[in-house]
């Protein structure tokens, strides 16, 4: 049964008068009568006993009342679902992040999504290191990613959400642990612990640049799967590591001290990225909400920041 026929049937069934039902539907009576005859023909049964002075439901018409109401209600619900989807009130957004260093921030974003957009489903995927997560955003396996990149390819939009400091993580009894700051030249002979790297990964790039400027090649002894493990290995005196201030602030670090480098380092940008041109209203809602949860350094607009997916140009 088509929805408009179900609506016509219900109007006649509730009014028991073709003239009043036609007025209710904002149509003329003859087209309404034709709709009812077409419906009866399709169903193979008379739905009304009618003459010039009387209209009544047949048993078959009585039986059709509830299914017809359900069909109309479902149609209205479908329209509401489409509207809410267009408004970014419902939908699915897949958000990737690296792990411990941004856990609290991601948790706060997820809480705010549930409170302000309860119809949205925010799916979280951890252990998405920047270089791997970027590939997943580009191939549409993820919608959003929080990470750190010194360079981003064409086809990616982003907004700056935080600035982090580069630090050296040392065992607490290390020969350099008592210094207020560490010179890169003093780290030439050290054993290095690193996180997984790849093209565009910030920490491996920064370590290579640091070592090159200081005239050495870092001796990497182990690649840790995540920041938690990395700090445990430093505390176990397995080596030292170039690390971010967010790791210091969010990862338990028994037996580990953090020291800045003597030479001033370019800060590391933490960005939320998405595919350029992604028209998902749900994605737009999460990005807009992120401006409240992550207002950015100093709460000032980022001059190079994209206005967001689907936003009109200024």
Residue 14 is predicted with a pLDDT of: 93
Residue 294 has pLDDT above 90, yes or no: no
CB 32 within 8 A of CB 18: yes
pLDDT greater than 80 at residue 25: yes
pLDDT at 43 over 90: yes
* pLDDT range class, residue 177, cuts 50, 70, 90: very high
Q: What domains sit in the chain, N to C, each tagged with a CATH number?
A: 3-86 (1.10.10.10), 91-161+269-299 (3.40.190.10), 166-259 (3.40.190.10)
Rg (CA), the chain: 31
Question: What CA–CA distance (Å, rounded) separates 161 from 71?
Answer: 47
**pTM confidence score:** 0.68
Across 19-30, average pLDDT: 93
Q: Who wins on pLDDT, 222 or 252?
A: 222
- φ, ψ of residue 40 to 5 degrees: the values are -65, -40
What are the backbone dihedrals phi and psi of residue 182, each rounded to the nearest 5 degrees, phi first? -115, 135
Q: What stretches of the chain adopt beta strand conformation (E)?
A: 48-50, 55-57, 91-97, 120-125, 144-148, 156-164, 166-171, 191-194, 219-223, 241-244, 256-259, 268-275
Q: How do strand 91-97 and strand 144-148 relate by DSSP bridges?
A: parallel
Q: What is the 3-state secondary structure (H, E, C) of 195-256?
A: CCCCCCEHHHHHHHHHHHHHCCCCEEEEECCCHHHHHHHHHCCCCEEEEEHHHHHHCCCCCE
**Cβ neighbours of residue 98 closer than 8 Å, sequence gap 6 or more:** 126, 127, 128, 129, 130, 133, 146, 147, 226, 227
List pLDDT tens digits, range 96-119: 987 666 777 888 899 999 999 888
Mean pLDDT of 281-299: 85
pLDDT of residue 101: 63
Strands 191-194, 120-125: pairing is: unpaired
- Contact in structure between 156 and 134 (CB atoms under 8 Å): yes
Q: What is the mean pLDDT of the chain?
A: 88
**CA-wise closest residue to 35 among 5, 64, 74:** 5
The larger pLDDT score, comparing residue 307 to residue 294, is at: 294
């Amino acid at each position: 049964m088509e929805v408009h026929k179900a609506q016509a049937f219900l109007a006649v069934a509730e009014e028991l008068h073709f003239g009043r039902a036609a007025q209710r539907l904002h149509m003329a009576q003859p087209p309404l009568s034709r709709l009812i005859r077409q419906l009866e023909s399709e169903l193979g049964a008379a739905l009304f006993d009618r003459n010039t002075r009387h209209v009544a439901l047949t048993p078959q018409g009585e039986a059709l009342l509830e299914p017809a109401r359900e069909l109309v209600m479902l149609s209205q619900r479908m329209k509401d679902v489409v509207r809410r989807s267009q408004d970014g009130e419902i939908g699915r957004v897949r958000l990737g992040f690296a792990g411990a260093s941004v856990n609290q921030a991601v948790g706060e974003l997820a809480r705010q999504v549930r409170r302000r957009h309860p119809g949205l489903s925010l799916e979280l995927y951890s252990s998405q290191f920047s270089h791997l997560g970027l590939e997943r955003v580009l191939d549409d396996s993820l919608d959003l990613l929080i990470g750190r990149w010194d360079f981003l390819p064409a086809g990616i939009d982003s907004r700056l959400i935080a600035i982090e400091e580069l630090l050296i993580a040392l065992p607490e009894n290390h020969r350099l642990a008592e210094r207020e700051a560490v010179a890169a030249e003093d780290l030439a002979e050290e054993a290095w612990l690193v996180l997984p790297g790849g093209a565009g990964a910030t920490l491996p790039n920064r370590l290579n640049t640091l070592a090159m400027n200081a005239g050495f090649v870092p001796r990497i002894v182990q690649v840790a799967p995540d920041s938690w493990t990395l700090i445990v290995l430093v505390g176990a005196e397995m080596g030292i590591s170039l690390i971010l201030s967010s790791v210091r602030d969010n990862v338990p670090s028994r037996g580990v001290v953090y020291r800045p480098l003597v030479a001033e380092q370019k800060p590391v940008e933490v960005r939320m990225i998405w595919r350029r041109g992604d028209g998902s209203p749900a994605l737009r809602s999460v990005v807009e909400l992120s401006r409240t949860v992550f207002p950015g350094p100093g709460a000032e607009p980022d001059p190079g920041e994209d206005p967001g997916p689907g936003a009109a140009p200024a």
